[in-house]
């Protein structure tokens, strides 16, 4: 076992990790970040997606020890109930989930996409979310939510520019 220290949603946390332990297992079972979901456990479903140092990754394919000193963002760190992220607002407004199991990973992949491509077209959205499986919604509402969030984010930027 080795003690590791990492930042999760801007708070420094420490925990004990085994050499072969995945980041997914460490986040869920050592640090109680249960918003990070365990699906396939082998890189196929995207349920476990988090951002590590600004890049989206499958936490089931990453060792906990690789995250020493890293900045991890989970869906819980994107916004709060009172101040949700545009993606979180858009997913709710568009009804882009049913059971919700895929949603935390889907939203993090969407965030990674919008960070790189602020106004993605439909093909770019499909490509950006191609690693995330949803067994309930059929993806149309998810695509609509990401489009709506991208429009909302650029409106917020425009408003800020006008005020500045
Ligand atoms: S649990 Fe990691 S990709 Fe499915
Ligand atoms: S909402 Fe159920 S798996 Fe996506």
pLDDT digits (tens, 9 = 90+) for 67-114: 999 999 999 999 998 999 999 999 999 999 999 999 999 999 999 999
The mean per-residue pLDDT over the stretch 46-52 comes to 98
Q: What is the distance between the alpha carbons of residues 59 and 36, in angstroms, rounded to a whole number?
A: 9
Q: Of the ranges 5-19, 119-133, 141-155, which one carries the lowest mean pLDDT score?
A: 141-155
pLDDT, tens only, 117-134: 999 999 999 999 999 999
Write down the mean pLDDT value for the chain.
Answer: 94
pLDDT band at 156, cuts 50/70/90? low
| Nearest atom within ligand 2 for CA of residue 135 | 3
Confidence of residue 157 (pLDDT cuts 50, 70, 90): low
Residue 8 has pLDDT above 90, yes or no: yes
Question: Is pLDDT at 36 greater than 90 in this prediction?
Answer: yes
- Ligand 1 atom 3: the closest Cα is on which residue? 43
Q: Whose CA is nearest to atom 2 of ligand 2?
A: 99
Question: Atom 4 of ligand 2 has which residue's CA nearest to it?
Answer: 134
100 lines ligand 2 (CB under 6 A): yes
- Burial-class residue 24 by CB neighbours within 10 Å (0-12, 13-18, 19+): buried
The CATH number of 2-77 is 3.10.20.30
Contact (Cβ atoms closer than 8 angstroms) between residue 72 and residue 84: no
* Number of the ligand 1 atom closest to the C-alpha atom of 59: 2
- C-beta neighbour count of 19 within 10 angstroms: 9
Domain with CATH 1.10.150.120 in the chain: 86-163
Pocket (CB within 6 angstroms of ligand 1): 38-41, 43-48, 58, 60
- Residue range(s) of every CATH 3.10.20.30 domain in the chain: 2-77
In sequence order, the β-bridge partners of residue 11 are 8
């059971």: which residue's tokens?
Answer: 99
The CATH homologous superfamily for domain 86-163 is [2Fe-2S]-binding domain (1.10.150.120)
Instruction: Compute the distance from residue 133 Cα to the ligand 2 centre, in Å.
Output: 8
Give the pLDDT confidence score for residue 6 in this predicted structure: 98
Dihedrals phi, psi of 70, to nearest 5 degrees: -80, 165
DSSP 3-state of 35: coil
Separation CA 78–CA 131 (nearest Å): 20
pLDDT category at 153 given cuts 50, 70, 90 is: confident
Q: How far is the CA of 92 from the centre of ligand 1 (A)?
A: 23
What's the CA-to-centroid distance between 47 and ligand 1, angstroms? 5
């Amino acid at each position: 076992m080795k003690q590791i220290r990492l930042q999760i949603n801007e708070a420094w946390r420490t925990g004990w990790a085994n050499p072969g332990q995945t980041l997914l297992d460490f986040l869920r079972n050592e640090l109680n970040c249960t918003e990070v979901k365990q699906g396939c456990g082998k890189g196929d479903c995207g349920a476990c997606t988090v951002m590590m140092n600004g890049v989206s990754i499958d936490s089931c394919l990453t060792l906990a020890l690789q995250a020493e000193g890293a900045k991890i963002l989970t869906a819980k760190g994107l916004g709060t109930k009172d101040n949700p992220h545009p993606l979180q607002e858009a997913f709710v407004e568009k009804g882009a989930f049913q059971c919700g199991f895929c949603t935390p990973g889907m939203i993090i992949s969407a965030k990674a996409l919008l960070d790189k491509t602020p106004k993605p077209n439909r093909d770019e959205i499909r490509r950006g979310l191609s690693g995330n499986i949803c067994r309930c919604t059929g993806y149309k509402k998810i695509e609509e939510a990401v489009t709506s969030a991208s429009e909302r984010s650029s409106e917020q930027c425009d408003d800020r520019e006008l005020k500045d």
